[in-house]
Amino acid sequence: MPYRAGIAALLTLLLSPYTMAEKLTLLNWEAYLDPDVIAMWQAETGVEIEQIYFDNDERRDRMMVDAGRHHIDLVVLDEVASRLFGERGVSFAPTTAQAPNLRHLDPRFTDQCGKHSVPYMWGSLGIAYRNDKVGTTPVSWSDLMRPAPELVGHIGMLDDGADMLAPALLMHGQSVNSDSREALQAAFEDLKQQVPAVLTYDYAITYLQSDTNADQLYMALVYSGDQDTLNEVQGSEHWQYVVPSEGTILWADCLAVLQGSDKQELAIRFIDFLNRPEIAARNAQSVWVATPNTAAYPLLDEEFSQDPTVYPSADVMAKSQLYGVLSDENLMLRKRITSAIRKLHDAK
């Protein structure tokens, strides 16, 4: 019996159009693809999924420029980067003729990702906090920007020209895409005042995994869904997530195929696989992030589909903003601000 089973498995592998000698390389956030989904794909195709991780958009963009050296086939991009890289001929999206399961995607997020990529997940920007260390649930961006005395030295931010400035801009009712020098200067002043309270500008998940002071992080700027990974990393249930009352950013993460990949057909097949309703539902629930796949909705557990940290209320949605494409001048100014803030923090 074991001999027959071994022969059957070998024949299945040999008859597959791909073999384990082949692999796809995905540039992705860490903990952003269900290991069971990867195992199901590999069992079906015999093709390995190798992931290269990034922990902020700027690092991802640098790797994209050198994608050939890393042999990257697919990438998870935000909606703005998707447009920029797509227009430069670096990446592209499959069509529904090539990947029929793309027909299940919500047009709102298809439009948001644009014609050069397809929606993968979506969510909000908010505050994660440890309920065993933070006595009062944060309700405003000012709770992060101007934290209580007992939280000084325990705050985490994001080292990114869009997201680092977002809490300060939102706190004052400004557009997160503002190109007003006055608004950006005011955000810079707020960030300077916040520096003494900040423990790290590293992505919270990365910090918890790699720094010896990980237990000192009590509150952080994060993306929805990160709180579950933070709990998993720390082996606790203390991390909670909240969207402040002033509103938030609704982001969409998108998937694109690299023009330089020599496995484009296989990469397209993987995107189609991820958009099978049952796979999309499993993957979303595993990473606890909202799926844009409408055919997956009836397959979601009630606990997940009713979780307001995953699917925000109508009130939150009404006060949400979307990322926009920033001018080169705006990007340069934001980069100077984030660089100056990091230098101030390193010097303290």
Under DSSP, is residue 306 helix (H, G, I), strand (E, B) or coil? Answer: coil
Quick check: 289 and 241 in contact, CB under 8 A? no
61 and 84 fall within a common domain: yes
For the chain, the C-alpha Rg in angstroms (whole number) is 21
| Angle (CA) 115 104 31, round 5° | 80
- The residue type at 76: V
What is the reported pLDDT for 21? Answer: 59
Of all residues in the chain, the percent with pLDDT exceeding 90 is 85
Q: Check which CATH number belongs to the domain holding 183 and give it.
A: 3.40.190.10
Alpha carbon 140 to its chain's center: 22
Average pLDDT, the chain: 92
57 and 6 fall within a common domain: yes
**Cα(209)–Cα(193) distance, rounded to whole angstroms?**
28
338 and 202 fall within a common domain: yes
SS3 string of 125-162?
A: EEEEEECCCCCCCCCCCHHHHCCCHHHCCCEECCCCCC
Q: Which two tokens stand for residue 289?
A: 């992030």
Tell which wins on pLDDT, 307 or 3: 307
127 and 117 fall within a common domain: no
- Core vs surface per residue 127-156: b (16+ CB within 10 A) or e: bbbbeeebeeebebbbbbbebeeebeebbb
182 and 283 fall within a common domain: no
Could you give the residue ranges of the DSSP H alpha helices within 256-296? 264-274, 277-287
**Cα(110)–Cα(14) distance, rounded to whole angstroms?**
37
224 and 181 fall within a common domain: yes
36 and 182 fall within a common domain: no
Under DSSP, is residue 72 helix (H, G, I), strand (E, B) or coil? Answer: coil
Segment 186-210, tens digit of pLDDT: 999 999 999 999 999 999 999 999 9
What is the reported pLDDT for 132? Answer: 97
63 and 193 fall within a common domain: no
**Cα(102)–Cα(106) distance, rounded to whole angstroms?**
9
208 and 304 fall within a common domain: no
Label residue 19 by pLDDT band (50, 70, 90): very low
Quick check: 26 and 49 in contact, CB under 8 A? yes
Segment 252-288, tens digit of pLDDT: 999 999 999 999 999 999 999 999 999 999 999 999 9
38 and 136 fall within a common domain: no
> How many of the other CB atoms lie within 10 Å of CB of 159?
20
288 and 302 fall within a common domain: yes
Segment 108-162, tens digit of pLDDT: 999 999 999 999 999 999 999 999 999 999 999 999 999 999 999 999 999 988 9
Domain span including residue 206: 123-249+315-347
Q: How many distinct structural domains can be found in the chain?
A: 2
218 and 243 fall within a common domain: yes
